[in-house]
């Protein structure tokens, strides 16, 4: 193990340290979540909680018109264990510049962009092929769904089968259902869904820093040894 990480582990309880190692074993970047203009704090926070529960490490937050706010009573501290990437600095005329930045960046990283939508023409959730490469599941705002820009840049559209009068699920419910299906199938596969050693060390370092008071002083003392 990295000597610095081993040193820092002495400043958290053995139980906390073991929990970090156990959770890290199940973390993945093969699946990531993208949220476009989610504005209700309850829904935003519930999605974070689901991402943590299903082992999804990264959440990409697009803020074209709405600021993404977290409700601590709902997310229960899970945001500190996730990597949150925000996109809010591109005010293009159509208002969707941050969507382009986020999705094009993910494409460059090798992700397939999967737009979630209730359209009957979309692929059913259980039919989404995972062997074709890493997946970025994109969820839209509660009222209007995803922007046209998101659909234009998407590689595929995905829907959750529904059999009632209602036309769509709540955004947080949709995310939880999609993540349950996709991560369950992923873990049952032989695909390389786990983090590599570099990613594990990077995330573990961040978790330790968030768990240790005055970690800057402690790391400085380690470097002086």
The position carrying tokens 């986020």 is 102
Q: How far is residue 124's CA from residue 110's CA, in Å, rounded to a whole number?
A: 22
Query: Has 160 been labeled as part of a binding site?
Result: yes
Q: How far is residue 119's CA from residue 125's CA, in Å, rounded to a whole number?
A: 12
Query: Has 184 been labeled as part of a binding site?
Result: no
Which runs of consecutive H residues, i.e. helices, occur in the chain? Answer: 3-8, 14-25, 41-53, 72-75, 97-108, 148-153, 171-187, 197-211, 215-223
The position carrying tokens 């139980």 is 15
Closest CA to 67 of 102, 101, 98: 98
Q: 163: exposed, middle or buried (C-beta count within 10 Å: 0-12, 13-18, 19+)?
A: exposed
Contact (Cβ atoms closer than 8 angstroms) between residue 120 and residue 159: yes
For residue 187 the two structure tokens come to 């873990």
Q: Measured at the alpha carbon of residue 59, what is the angle toward residues 54 and 63, in degrees to the nearest 5?
A: 145
Binding residues: 116, 160
Binding residues for S-adenosyl-L-methionine: 116, 160
């Amino acid at each position: 193990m990295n000597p610095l990480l081993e040193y820092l582990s002495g400043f958290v309880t053995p139980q906390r340290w073991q929990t970090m190692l156990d959770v890290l074993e199940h973390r993945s970047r093969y699946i990531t979540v993208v949220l476009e203009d989610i504005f209700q704090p309850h829904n935003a926070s519930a999605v974070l909680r689901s991402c943590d529960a299903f082992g999804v490490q990264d959440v990409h937050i697009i803020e074209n018109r709405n600021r993404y706010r977290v409700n601590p009573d709902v997310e229960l501290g899970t945001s500190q264990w996730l990597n949150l990437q925000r996109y809010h600095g591109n005010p293009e005329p159509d208002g969707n510049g941050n969507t382009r930045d986020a999705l094009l960046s993910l494409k460059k990283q090798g992700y397939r962009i999967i737009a979630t939508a209730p359209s009957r023409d979309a692929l059913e959730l259980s039919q989404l092929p995972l062997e074709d490469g890493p997946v970025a599941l994109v969820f839209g705002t509660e009222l209007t769904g995803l922007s046209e820009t998101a659909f234009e840049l998407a590689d595929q559209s995905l829907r959750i089968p529904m059999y009632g009068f209602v036309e769509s699920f709540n955004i947080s419910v949709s995310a939880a259902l999609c993540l349950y299906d996709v991560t369950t199938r992923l873990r049952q596969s032989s695909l390389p869904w786990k983090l590599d050693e570099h990613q594990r060390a990077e995330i573990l370092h961040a978790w330790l820093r968030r768990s240790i008071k005055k970690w800057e002083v402690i790391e400085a003392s380690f470097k002086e040894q």
